[in-house]
Amino acid sequence: MAGLETPAKRRRVRTTQNQYELYINMLETNKYFRENKVTPDHPNALTKCWEDLVNSLNSSGGPQKSLNEWKRVFVDWKSQVRKRARIIKNSYTETGNKGAPERELSEIEKKLLYLTGEVVIEGMEGVPEIGINNNENIAVAVDQEKNKEQQKLSNSLKKKKTDSNTLEEINLNFKQLVELKNKRCSS
């Protein structure tokens, strides 16, 4: 019994740099893979991309895994890289003498962020961060929304007023035309 290995005790073989590069290359060259969407005109494109990638990864010299295991490897890698990128970004805005942030991202990690979207790190413009001590950001966002609503209401009232004035002018012109017609008919 001592010689049998359990899955927990089995030594894990790490994904090689070459395998990460194959994944990045697939992201760069294949829009279906990069967007991770199935389209009506190419319903099997994403599945085919993953099958091709798994074959390339397993034949590249490194760990061999199933499709689902490779998907998990890359989901975990993206998550780790994004987490480190957020930590690095936040360390630049912290006060105090905390020293340099942890090691910078490698070129391949920067490329991964670029290809999979940096919005998870940078955030979206105009969307406030919500969290502890972000009351000022929330107050500014609420004020901006109030101002937008007030502007819409003001524009709507101006339009109604203009419409009302136009209607009054039309009625006045019609009355004048009727009076002119009556004068001509009576003369």
Q: What is the mean pLDDT of the chain?
A: 78
What pLDDT sits at residue 1? 44
Tokens of 111: 């490329």
What pLDDT sits at residue 179? 81
The residue ranges of the chain whose pLDDT is under 50 are 1-3, 5
What pLDDT sits at residue 41? 80
What pLDDT sits at residue 95? 63
Contact 87, 102 (CB under 8 A): yes
For the chain, the 3-state helix, strand and coil shares in percent, each to the nearest 5, are: 65, 0, 30
Smallest CA-to-CA distance from 64 within 77, 74, 55 is with: 55
What pLDDT sits at residue 70? 92
What pLDDT sits at residue 33? 81
What pTM did the predictor assign?
0.57
Beta bridge partners of 39: 42
Length of the chain, in residues: 187
